[in-house]
Amino acid sequence: MPRTIWNGAISFGLVTVPIHVVGATENHSIQFHQYHLPDMGRVRVRKVCELEDREVSQAEIGKGYEYARDQVVPITDDDLRNLPLPTAKAIEIAGFVPLESIDPIRIGDGYYLAPDGQVAAKPYMLLVKALGRSSKVAVARYAWSGRERLGLLRVRGDVLVLHAMRWPDEVRDPSEVEPPQVEVTEEEVDGALALVDSMTREDLEGDEFRDRYTDALAEIIEAKREHQPLPEAPEPEQPGQLVDLMAALQESVQKARTARGEGETAEVHEMPKPKKTAKKQPAKKTAAKKTTARKSRSA
């Protein structure tokens, strides 16, 4: 069972569901420490009191707010647990909305909410069933880590998941990075849609969605540990200069289908080819030919 992060309750109208919160994700990346290179001694960060100039233990360390340069207000864990705020001890559901109405950029880390004991099992499952049948998600408020937060409650299997959400003013206006105005033809859009279709999948399983960076790093660590030659890095494909957008789309579709074992040629519209126009002869040469013709007729 993962470590409990927070204990409290879900407040759903007049229904209260005691829960405890655990992490829903794991980090499998390879972690590094800092070492002194000449002797490979571990380099650690020590916590030192600036006034006493000595290292202090974790038991001597607490939180504080610097009200002024010469005045620090101590804040204890009990102070944070007893905030005069309803959401300090409860995840308070404020309403229900369709999931598609929430911009994914506002959705953050996820946590599993587990019922806290047998008594909480029935109201917990009641909320799970109600959310599942409504096809909606709950928007809630809760207070963690020194601030009130907005959250999204949804169902995964038979378990409630809480996602941290960003407040509206925490999301930057995308107009700051809008691309310059360009014309895109319908043929180019059709070509891009064909590429989307050829790359569409039913799930996110397979080697394409494996953490290749961690695998490659593990190979390097193992090779250095065994004093073996390091694995050679593959040569990256050099992208060519984009001249014909439709040709690039068509080639991309064909590569995607070949990778999936489909041999048929992608049906992508070709870029319209420019019409060839007859070259006009210079006026002087034409006049010369006419003069020659007249002389031959008179002769």
Mean per-residue pLDDT over the chain, rounded: 81
Query: What is the C-alpha to C-alpha distance for residues 100 and 80, in angstroms, rounded to an integer?
Result: 34
List the Cα angle 51/52/58 in 5-degree steps: 100
Given CA atoms 62, 65, 66, 72 in this order, what sign does their dihedral have?
negative
Find the angle CA(244)-CA(248)-CA(252) to the nearest 5 degrees. 170
Give the amino acid at 35: Y
**Which pLDDT belongs to residue 95?**
92
Q: Helix or strand or coil: residue 116?
A: coil
Map residue 119 onto helix, strand or coil: helix
Q: Which backbone phi and psi does 252 adopt, to 5 degrees?
A: -65, -40
Tokens of 248: 């690039």
- Other residues' Cβ atoms within 10 Å of the Cβ of residue 191: 25
Torsion of CA 23, 28, 34, 37, to 10 degrees: 170
pLDDT digits (tens, 9 = 90+) for 36-89: 999 999 999 999 999 999 999 999 999 999 999 889 999 888 887 777 777 777
pLDDT at position 144: 81
Share of the chain above pLDDT 70, in %: 84
Q: What is the pLDDT of residues 242-294, one digit of tens each?
A: 557 777 777 777 877 777 776 544 444 443 444 444 444 444 444 444 444 44
The pLDDT, as a whole number, for residue 286 is 44
Helix (H, G, I), strand (E, B) or coil at 156: strand
pLDDT for 1: 67
Residues in Cβ contact with 50 at an 8 Å cutoff, skipping those fewer than 6 apart:
none
Dihedral sign from CA coordinates of 167, 169, 171, 175: positive
- In this predicted model, which residue has the larger pLDDT, 247 or 124? 124
Higher pLDDT, 81 or 179: 179
Q: How confident is the model at residue 296 (pLDDT cuts 50, 70, 90)?
A: very low
Q: Which contiguous run of DSSP H or E holds residue 110?
A: strand 107-115
**3-state per-residue secondary structure call for 145-158:** CCEEEEEEEEEECC
Residue 269 confidence (pLDDT) = 43
Average pLDDT of the residues in 219-241: 78
Residue 14 has pLDDT above 90, yes or no: no
Is there a contact between 92 and 141 (Cβ–Cβ < 8 Å)? yes
Q: According to the model, what pLDDT value does residue 280 have?
A: 45
pLDDT in tens, 29-48: 889 999 999 999 999 999 99
pLDDT at 35: 94
